[in-house]
Amino acid sequence: MEERITIAGFGGQGVMAIGQLLTYAGMLENKNVSWLPSYGPEMRGGTANCSVVISSEAVGSPVVVNATSAIIMNKPSMDKFEPTIVEGGKLFVNSSLVDRKSNRDDIEVYYIPANEIANELGNMKVANMVMLGAYIEVTKMVSIESILEGFTKVFGEDKAHLIPLNKEALEKGAESVRNQIAATV
Amino acid sequence: MAKVLMKGNEAVGAAAIEAGCRYFFGYPITPQSELPEYMARELPKVGGVFLQAESEIAAINMVYGAAGAGARVMTSSSSPGISLKQEGISYIAGAELPCLIVNMMRGGPGLGSIQPSQTDYFQATRGGGNGDYRVVVLAPSNVQELVDLIIEGFDIADQYRNPVMILGDGMIGQMMEPVEFKKPKQRELPPKDDWITNGTKGKRKPHIINSLYLAPEELEAHNIKLQEKYRKIRENEVKVESYNIEDADVVIAAYGTTARIVKTAISQLEREGYKVGLIRPITLWPYPYDEFKKINPQCKGILTVEMNTGQMLDDVKIAVEGRFPVYFHGRTGGMVPTPNEIIEKVKRIHGGEM
């Protein structure tokens, strides 16, 4: 098993953060993991992305070129990374900010109105966690418990009070994608 | 100790402190600035000293001073900054001082770019400074190995009284992977009391740390002594990872993060039925020349893959001694080779198309 994930969006949407959470959770579940950020000057105000690999074998290239899954937070990232997903791969789209459907018919696509859901939860900053919740619900790559266990490791102990809100965001993301699957069956 | 997820640059700092490094002198430059940041935060907590120097040249000369006083000391930079440190590195090698120098390489020449590269191989292994000197060069391929080599690197430096360079790149500096901190193999380290300049306390003659020998006889003798030390390092310190080279039709030589991309390519090629081996030098100096003697005599060629336009390629040619054709694939300027590019090249070598 090797899952190669691209997570992309605007700088500030928390794409690096959910990448780190996913990586930490994978490590806690004794999988081989790597996290690699884009660190070019384009991060400031432009697009930001990171590569996450979760594997049963030692991780080879940490650079994700052909993703098995992509979490896409904004339109420019959709245009850039939609074509890189392997056949049969999974695409998770933040439909609040991406106003078009996927052009691919050889991949599974999930649309999650992450900003609207985050807004309902009262904090726009958790839109990334909504997307992560949807991803975990579909792929079962790690458990929500592992994500929450890694939360203070990634963000520091002083952010522990934010765990309940983030847990809710993960669950709402999962619920959104469950509803979508139910509607298409 | 349990595994923790750490960014390469921060893992360097944690490993150095674990190894007893208490002094760090540096100057910020992307893509390694998290390392001085980490040291600025963490060294004072263990009674150490972090100092952001006015320049890279000042930083390396502070390393000279601290190493001369017997401290475990480190500096770090990225390519253009390492160029600035070369004079100091030559002096440190000449004065036989132990220290660790970290280079998280970025694209060059000149200011180049901030993206990962391996374009300082020549500078690291052939000496960017003047004189007949050698620096032990360690090239980690993942963050765990980076940690292990930092910890062992301080011991190597102390054992031989020689600078040790960690040659990484922007990718390994920026990426996060799980690490645990393990004790290195026990080395018998020589005492430092008979040469360090830590004050005579009025009880002994001053020790002198110096790289100036005006009498040619003395300088020649000093150089012969250095060469004898380098011979011992060549004999004892070569590190290499090899995979399937006795049976391979094509062998790839690659180091550092590039070797990981090569491993991904090799797994894919094996699924398609190709027999491909790997030689991954972990020490770039001393270079594992002898490893190439174990390659399957029927091997069709050696492919060197680097993030430059062909530098380790020279060492591969020296190692192969004309027994096999040697090919090259490289990307540069911050571009990273993809597994598919490597797969294509291997197939062409295998099919006799190159």
pLDDT in tens, B135-166: 999 999 999 999 999 999 999 999 999 999 99
Percentage with pLDDT > 90 across chain B: 97
- Same-domain pairing of B56 and B97: yes
CB contact under 8 A, B142 and A59: yes
Percentage with pLDDT > 70 across chain B: 100
Averaged pLDDT of chain A: 95
Average pLDDT over residues A14-33: 97
Tokens standing for residue B286 = 């001393």
pLDDT the model gives residue A39: 78
> What HEC string does chain B produce?
CCCEEEEHHHHHHHHHHHCCCCEEEECCCCCCCHHHHHHHHHHHHHCCEEEECCCHHHHHHHHHHHHHCCCCEEEEECHHHHHHHHHHHHHHHHCCCCEEEEEEEECCCCCCCCCECCCCHHHHHHCCCCCCCCCEEECCCCHHHHHHHHHHHHHHHHHHCCEEEEEEEHHHHHCEEEECCCCCCCCCCCCCCCCCCCCCCCCCCCCCCCCCCCCHHHHHHHHHHHHHHHHHHHHHCCCEEEECCCCCCEEEECCHHHHHHHHHHHHHHHHCCCCEEEEEECEEECCCHHHHHHCCCCCCEEEEEECCCCCHHHHHHHHHCCCCCEEEEECCCCCCCCHHHHHHHHHHHHCCCC
Cβ–Cβ < 8 Å for B31, A39:
yes
User: Is residue A142 over pLDDT 60?
Assistant: yes
- Same-domain pairing of B182 and B300: no
Helix (H) or strand (E) holding A5: strand A2-10
Tokens standing for residue B105 = 């390489």
Other beta carbons within 10 angstroms of residue B281's beta carbon come to 29
Backbone angles phi, psi at B278, to 5 degrees: -140, 135
pLDDT the model gives residue B43: 98
Tell me how close the Cα of A31 comes to any Cα of chain B, in angstroms: 10
Residue where a domain stops, chosen among B214, B236, B258: B236
How many distinct structural domains can be found in chain B? 2
User: Is residue A41 over pLDDT 80?
Assistant: no
Cβ-Cβ contacts under 8 Å between A and B: the total is 65
A54 touches chain B (CB under 8 A): no
- Same-domain pairing of B281 and B138: no
Look at residues A131, A134, A125 and name the one whose alpha carbon lies nearest to residue A155. A125
pLDDT the model gives residue A108: 97
- Same-domain pairing of B163 and B181: yes
Cβ–Cβ < 8 Å for B60, B97:
no
- pLDDT (tens digit per residue) in B312-325: 999 999 999 999 99
- Same-domain pairing of B257 and B213: no
- Same-domain pairing of B277 and B209: no
- Same-domain pairing of B204 and B328: no
Average pLDDT over residues B226-246: 98
Q: Residue B216, preceding bond cis, omega within 30 degrees?
A: no
- Same-domain pairing of B152 and B300: no
Average pLDDT over residues B245-252: 98
- Same-domain pairing of B30 and B104: yes
pLDDT the model gives residue A59: 96
C-alpha span between B178 and B180 (Å, rounded): 7
A45 touches chain B (CB under 8 A): no
C-alpha span between A39 and B177 (Å, rounded): 17
- Reported confidence tier of residue B47, pLDDT bands at 50, 70, 90: very high
Residue-range domains of chain A with CATH: 2-184 (3.40.920.10)
Tell me how close the Cα of B345 comes to any Cα of chain A, in angstroms: 17
Identify the CATH number of the domain in which residue B16 sits: 3.40.50.970
Nearest CA in chain A to B115: A40
- Same-domain pairing of B217 and B278: no
- Reported confidence tier of residue A184, pLDDT bands at 50, 70, 90: confident
Cβ–Cβ < 8 Å for B307, B280:
no
- Same-domain pairing of B164 and B285: no
Average pLDDT over residues A118-141: 97
pLDDT the model gives residue A43: 54
Instruction: Give B77's strand partners.
Output: B103
C-alpha span between B270 and B126 (Å, rounded): 35
The sign of the dihedral angle between the CA atoms of A79, A81, A83, A88 is negative
Residue where a domain stops, chosen among B236, B254, B280: B236
Query: B90 lies in which domain range?
Result: 4-236
User: Is residue B343 over pLDDT 60?
Assistant: yes
Residue where a domain stops, chosen among B207, B236, B265: B236
β-pairing verdict for B23-26 and B73-77: parallel
User: Is residue A106 over pLDDT 90?
Assistant: yes
Q: How far is CA B346 from the centre of its chain?
A: 27
Helix (H) or strand (E) holding A28: helix A15-28
Average pLDDT over residues A54-76: 95
CB contact under 8 A, B339 and A59: no
Nearest CA in chain A to B339: A61
Backbone angles phi, psi at A25, to 5 degrees: -60, -40
Of B177, B263, B339, the CB nearest to A34: B177
Tell me how close the Cα of B266 comes to any Cα of chain A, in angstroms: 10
- Reported confidence tier of residue A44, pLDDT bands at 50, 70, 90: low
Identify the CATH number of the domain in which residue B316 sits: 3.40.50.920
Tell me how close the Cα of A62 comes to any Cα of chain B, in angstroms: 8
Other beta carbons within 10 angstroms of residue B279's beta carbon come to 25
More confident residue, A46 or B77: B77
- Same-domain pairing of B224 and B117: yes
